[in-house]
A = this chain, B = another copy of it.
């Protein structure tokens, strides 16, 4: 049987797929109604400043993914990848910290003439996710999610 730590980690695995598909409904369903989601930008070693206002609850996450995340251009997609998870489970509560690197991929419109992948892959964002979860009716859901970006981020429309 899968360990609780693995189940917690798989919440993040579903999170990155939903984000990369811009699937607000799937993304929002990972959060509780009272979840607090905040983005922070690094200002120096161990210091961050908040970016924008917190989102509260899965419905707000769903709305944000569908209205504020830039759609992938034609032929492009992306991967939010996570690694080096630290996970502590204490009964129906869990805390997870993970590194993330975001990659943008772009298919070439003209084949290059040489064998191999026809396009580019480029890392564009990095940081840490710091996340708390609660087990509700046997399902782990996110109650707090802090996105600690390594760099400033300009929000669309801001």
A117–B79 CB distance below 8 A: no
- A151 to B111 alpha-carbon distance, docked (Å): 11
- A50 to B19 alpha-carbon distance, docked (Å): 25
A85 contacts the other chain (Cβ, under 8 Å)? Answer: yes
Which of A9-17, A27-35, A53-61, A131-139 forms contacts with chain B? A9-17
- A10 to B9 alpha-carbon distance, docked (Å): 13
The count of identical subunits is 3
Interface size class of A (residues with CB under 8 A): 35 or more
Collect the chain B residues with CB atoms within 8 Å of residue A87's CB. Answer: 2, 6, 10
Question: Which residues between 105 and 130 of chain A lie within 8 Å of chain B, taking CB atoms?
Answer: 105-108, 111-119, 121-126
A84–B125 CB distance below 8 A: no
Instruction: Name which residue of chain B comes closest to A12, CB basis.
Output: B84
- A5 to B7 alpha-carbon distance, docked (Å): 11
User: Known contacts A2-B87, A119-B150; can you find 4 more A-B pairs with CB under 8 A?
Assistant: A10-B86, A113-B154, A117-B149, A117-B153
